[in-house]
């Protein structure tokens, strides 16, 4: 009998696990994918080896890469880009850690208050979450991103447009700024040389500008795991969780089990029919063995797709039908500008600068290696430029119709990757019931019925579509102001890389699964602590930091409600994940 079982070691689960382990609870952390114990020997930085659709080491599938990936039904042109394994989708994230926009929270009374998704606000105030933002920012840590050439070009564009700089962490007005990234700033030789011999840790510390965020961060070479530059949870919260006895007074190390695919949440009903979570059953993906453990509290953190799937496959109650509904994805779009001078787009952390437009969304500069750039150019809902437009192909501040540049134009666009500059559009998209995760009509796999993920694009709300078009226009204008001689809008088909709110918390019991404490409304002892718990799309801010702040708050709620403890955020000082005690414990 455990105190707590956390399902999923991605962006949110390890946060709850670490926080409760630091309080001395007996925590079991399950992860369906690989342990990723030694990136220095297991990862290569090569694109297909890392991000290959079916066999990459950063895929959604079992640790045995000779086995097929886990299938999910996508009944539309789209790409669902999630990663299994310890670290989850933070393994390939860019570390971008902006705070959610204040206008997405209850109690917001700014002049633009009516311009957000007002029907689906967070069920508490922004001010209440700020101490948790600060706690996570100190723990990871989150730091202001440095500047390379691609950032310099980005800033020049916005300067020439006369847009203001956003100076603080709280987004209060339209503006551009350096990213707040969960990436250690470069120190020593990092960012100053290409010589591998000179980039060994500790001669180099922090980001070395290698340009491989998407392939998993293992630099600087030779750095201990918790001193790698990017603060994915495999380098931050997981090391803290499994060494909690070494750095937290009274702490107890988390038990981490990888290759453990949760197939059922066990629950019982009392005489009144009320459900209580009792434990978790999982399947060892290497042996096929089925294992069950009980716990006082179960925390689901297995993601926006697998979470609803597990809930539905477990037969848990779903009286309002909102399990899996309300999925948001920031309605991504992509623009690429071609420049007559070097942008060094392929170098440096893959996004180090952004712009925010509260109540509209945000956007960020992105530099990618060539194959990943290729898929970004090809994932369009608007056909092939110059050939057909699929009934879409919008025109505007960009050149020609939106769509895929293929054939001779692809060769032109890709002819010099270091003279490109990409903009990723992060729309403040609405929670809509029809965008959802449910169970496929196809036969089950070894873990039960598989998930179907439906994400409309053309039938998104009028506000979502208007926001997306507004942001694409501003992005095209900024690229031209920066000196681009050609700007292409892709009009992306759904690229579900930021997925949120499929098990959302909400102010109303009619359209939410969780209450304001991230507790399941209809199951005692069951909580959710990943992006699916978010009430909405955070206004278009990258979701991980908000999820981690919320997960910290949820850990406090669990500790107080089920274990009689007191909250600690605000009364204690956080320990940073680079603390030497953690480094030493990992070495042991």
Partner 1 sequence: MDPTTAPARLARRQLLARLGVLGASLGVAPALLRNPPAGATPARLTTPFAGLRAARAAQASPGLTLDTLTGVVAFVCPGDDAYSQHQGVSLAEPGGVAAEGQDLLAEVLDTYFPVPELVAFLVEALQTELAAVPLPDGLDGLTWIEGLLETDGHVPLAPVVAVLANLLAIQVDPASATGPFLTPFPRLTWADKAEVWRRFEGDLPDLFTVGEPGSRLPIVSDILALLSTLGGLLRFASGAVLEIATFASYSEHAVFDPATRTLTGRPVGWDLADYPPDEPVAGWDELIGYYQGRTTADA
Q: Between residue 491 and residue 530, which ones bind partner 1 under the rule CB under 8 A?
A: 493
Q: By C-beta, is 187 or 567 nearer to partner 1?
A: 187
Q: How far is the CB of 374 from partner 1 (least distance, A)?
A: 4
- Decide: is 168 part of the binding site for partner 1 (CB under 8 A): yes
CA 106 to chain centre: 23
Minimum separation from the CB atom of position 48 to partner 1 (A)? 4
Question: Binding residue for partner 1 (CB under 8 A) from 388, 466, 560, 572?
Answer: 388
Cis-peptide into 518, omega within 30 deg: no
| Contact status: 460 vs partner 1 (CB under 8 A) | no
- Judging by beta carbons within 10 Å of its beta carbon (0-12, 13-18, 19+), is residue 406 exposed, middle or buried? middle
Residue 254: burial class (beta carbons within 10 Å; 0-12, 13-18, 19+): buried
Please say which residue, 44 or 507, places its beta carbon nearer to partner 1.
44
Applying CB under 8 A, the site for partner 1 has a residue count of 102
* Cα three-residue angle 523-526-529, rounded to 5 degrees: 135
Residues numbered 219-278 forming contacts with partner 1, rule: CB under 8 A: 219-221, 263
Instruction: List CB contacts of 78: < 8 A, sequence separation 6 or more.
Output: 453, 455, 493, 494, 495, 496
- Out of 113, 138, 375, 397, point to the residue binding partner 1 (CB under 8 A): 375
Please identify which residue in 333, 356, 373, 399 interacts with partner 1, judged by CB under 8 A: 373
Q: Report the sign of the C-alpha dihedral through residues 397, 399, 400, 404, in that order.
A: negative
Residue 455 interacting with partner 1 (CB under 8 A) = no
Letter string b/e over residues 42-57, b meaning 16 or more CB atoms within 10 A of that residue's CB: ebebebeebbbeeebb
Give the residue with the Cβ less far from partner 1, 63 or 554. 63
- Alpha-carbon distance 297 to 562, whole Å? 8
**Which of 191, 324, 393, 540 touches partner 1 (CB under 8 A)?**
191
Tell me which DSSP letter residue 56 carries. -
Least distance from C-beta 140 to partner 1, angstroms? Answer: 14
Is residue 315 close enough to count as binding partner 1 by CB under 8 A? no
Residues 278-307 that bind partner 1 (CB under 8 A): 283, 288, 290
For the segment 399-418, give every residue that binds partner 1 (CB under 8 A): 404, 406-408, 410-411, 414-418
- Binding pattern to partner 1, positions 133-152, x when CB under 8 A? ----------xx-xxxx-xx
Please name which of 48, 45, 17 lies closest in space to residue 31, comparing C-alpha atoms: 17
Residue (174 or 445) nearer to partner 1, CB: 445
The verdict on 341 binding partner 1 (CB under 8 A) reads: no
Strands (E), 440-584: 451-454, 486-489, 495-496, 523-524, 526-528
Can you tell me whether residue 393 is helix, strand or coil? coil
Q: Does the protein bind partner 1 through residue 77 (CB under 8 A)?
A: yes
Residue 370 CB coordination number (10 Å): 11
> Considering only 21-29, 73-81, 297-305, 395-403, which stretch makes contact with partner 1 by CB under 8 A?
73-81
By CB under 8 A, name the one of 371, 397, 516, 586 that touches partner 1: 371
Rounded to whole angstroms, the Cα distance separating 126 from 106 reads: 7
């Amino acid at each position: 009998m455990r105190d707590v079982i956390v399902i999923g070691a991605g962006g949110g689960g390890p946060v709850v696990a670490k926080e409760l382990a630091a309080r001395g609870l007996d925590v079991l952390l399950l992860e369906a994918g690989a342990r990723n114990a030694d990136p220095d020997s297991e990862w290569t930085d090569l694109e297909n080896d890392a991000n290959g659709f079916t066999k990459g080491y950063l895929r959604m599938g079992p640790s045995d890469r000779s086995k097929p990936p886990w299938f999910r039904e996508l009944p539309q042109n789209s790409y669902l880009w999630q990663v299994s394994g310890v670290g989850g989708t933070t393994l390939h994230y860019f570390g971008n850690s902006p705070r959610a926009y204040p206008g997405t929270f209850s109690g917001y009374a700014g002049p633009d208050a009516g311009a957000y998704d007002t029907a689906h606000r967070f069920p508490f105030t922004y001010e209440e979450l700020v101490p948790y933002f600060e706690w996570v920012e100190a723990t990871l840590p989150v730091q202001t991103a440095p500047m390379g050439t691609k950032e310099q070009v980005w800033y020049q564009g916005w300067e020439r447009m006369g847009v203001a700089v956003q100076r603080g962490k709280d987004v209060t007005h339209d503006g551009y700024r350096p990213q707040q990234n969960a990436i250690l700033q470069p120190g020593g030789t990092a960012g100053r040389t290409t010589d591998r011999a000179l980039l060994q840790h500790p001669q180099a510390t922090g980001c070395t500008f290698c340009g491989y965020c998407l392939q998993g961060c293992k630099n600087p070479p030779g750095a201990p795991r918790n001193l790698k530059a990017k603060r994915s949870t495999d380098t931050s919260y997981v090391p803290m969780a499994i060494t909690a006895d070494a750095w937290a007074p009274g702490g107890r190390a988390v038990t981490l089990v990888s290759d453990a695919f949760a197939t059922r949440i066990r629950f019982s009903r009392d005489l009144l029919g009320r459900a209580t979570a009792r434990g978790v059953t999982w399947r060892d993906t290497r042996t096929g063995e089925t294992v069950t453990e009980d716990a006082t509290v179960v925390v689901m953190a297995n993601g926006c797709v697998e979470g609803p799937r597990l809930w539905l496959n477990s037969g848990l109650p779903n009286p309002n039908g909102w399990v899996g509904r309300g999925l948001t994805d920031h309605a991504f779009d992509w623009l690429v500008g071609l420049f007559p001078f070097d942008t060094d787009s392929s170098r440096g952390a893959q996004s180090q600068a952004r712009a925010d437009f509260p109540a509209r969304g945000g956007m960020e500069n992105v530099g990618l290696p060539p194959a990943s750039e290729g898929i970004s150019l090809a994932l369009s809902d608007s056909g092939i430029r110059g050939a057909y437009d699929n009934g879409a192909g919008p025109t505007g501040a960009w050149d020609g119709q939106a769509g895929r540049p293929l054939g001779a134009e692809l060769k032109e666009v890709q002819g010099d990757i270091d003279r490109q500059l990409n903009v990723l559009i992060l729309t403040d998209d609405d929670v809509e019931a029809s965008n959802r995760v449910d169970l496929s009509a196809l036969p089950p796999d070894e873990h039960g019925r598989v998930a179907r993920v439906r994400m409309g694009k053309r039938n998104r709300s009028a506000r979502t579509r208007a926001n997306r078009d507004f942001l694409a226009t501003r992005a095209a204008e900024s690229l031209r102001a920066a000196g681009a001689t050609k700007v292409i809008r892709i009009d992306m088909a759904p690229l579900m890389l930021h997925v949120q709110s499929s098990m959302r918390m909400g102010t109303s019991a009619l359209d939410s699964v969780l209450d304001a404490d991230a507790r399941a409304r209809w199951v005692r002892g069951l909580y959710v602590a990943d992006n699916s718990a978010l009430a909405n799309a955070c206004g278009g801010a990258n979701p991980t930091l908000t999820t981690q702040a919320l997960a910290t708050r949820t850990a406090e709620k669990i500790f107080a409600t089920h274990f009689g403890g007191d909250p600690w955020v605000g009364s204690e000082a956080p320990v940073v994940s680079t603390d030497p005690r953690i480094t030493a414990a990992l070495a042991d």
